[in-house]
Chains A and B, each alone.
Chain A
């Protein structure tokens, strides 16, 4: 019985190693592009609304947390379905690797939001920039298993995050377009890189 257990453990180890050396193709370009368009639409809607009704930081944060939650849910469902279809036998290992790389940045972003809003709510205008910088770290962590061009998208989010901090530091307010433009264009770039990457890989890779 012990020999069988050991053999199964070794196979599990090999499968994990194979998964680590395989490009992850679970992220769907269409779904990612949709989240980008959603970010642009929400920014447009919020900027129109804010010209008629003045709303505070909490409302803005809630709007964007809801947008992020919808995008995450859609992406997660699409990624799981796609990974099971594309990676078949290795799907679970590949999904686990992808989650291990990206989820820490989401968790850091969520915790930072809670702490910032509770401890220094007046500095909530920093959130768009910080979210983009943290998101860039998630992309950099995932780059190893994605098309090489994804590195450039990581730089986009990093640069956009730093620019957002600079732009928002003047009026010290949460500006809708500092969320909409970076995430809208960023997600469209991710979708484009995934689309190009997928096309370059022969079927069955």
Chain B
């Protein structure tokens, strides 16, 4: 999804396979699931006398991905705040016992 969302004009199956370091079967399965969820679309295109599969993220896919990034950022910020709080509490306890 990250590869597709940063290439708005789409990627060919081979380009996507290289970027994701996946096997043909594995990538096929991933794309099938994403296509069923209407997050990506695939289409056959003719490029230099051979047909290739082109994958593109949909508007819904882009929206879901941005939502996912927002949630992920929130989770990481919460974890950072908790870690900072724990460190401050440890410091205070150390000062009391010391």
- A15 touches B (CB below 8 Å): yes
* A7: nearest chain-B partner, CB-CB: B76
**Chain A: number of interface residues, binned into ranges:** 20 to 34
Whether the pair B70, A89 counts as a contact (CB closer than 8 A) is yes
B49 smallest CB distance to A (angstroms): 28
Determine the main DSSP class of A at the interface with B.
helix
Whether the pair A205, B59 counts as a contact (CB closer than 8 A) is yes
- A77 touches B (CB below 8 Å): no
A191 to B72, CA, bound (A): 37
A residues within 8 A CB of B62?
18, 22, 205
Contacts A89-B69, A202-B59, A204-B63: A21 and B8 contacting too (C-beta < 8 A)? yes
A14 to B68, CA, bound (A): 12
A30 to B74, CA, bound (A): 36
Whether the pair A22, B8 counts as a contact (CB closer than 8 A) is yes
* B79: nearest chain-A partner, CB-CB: A4
B residues within 8 A CB of A4?
76, 79-80, 83
* A5: nearest chain-B partner, CB-CB: B80
A residues within 8 A CB of B77?
8
* A13: nearest chain-B partner, CB-CB: B6
B residues within 8 A CB of A8?
73, 76-77, 80
A5 to B76, CA, bound (A): 8
Whether the pair B59, A11 counts as a contact (CB closer than 8 A) is no
Partner of A21, one of B7, B63, B67, B80: B7
Closest 8 CB pairs of A and B: A21-B8, A205-B59, A17-B6, A204-B59, A4-B80, A89-B66, A89-B70, A18-B5
List residues of chain A with CB under 8 Å of any chain B CB: 1, 4-5, 7-8, 11, 14-15, 17-18, 20-22, 88-90, 202-205
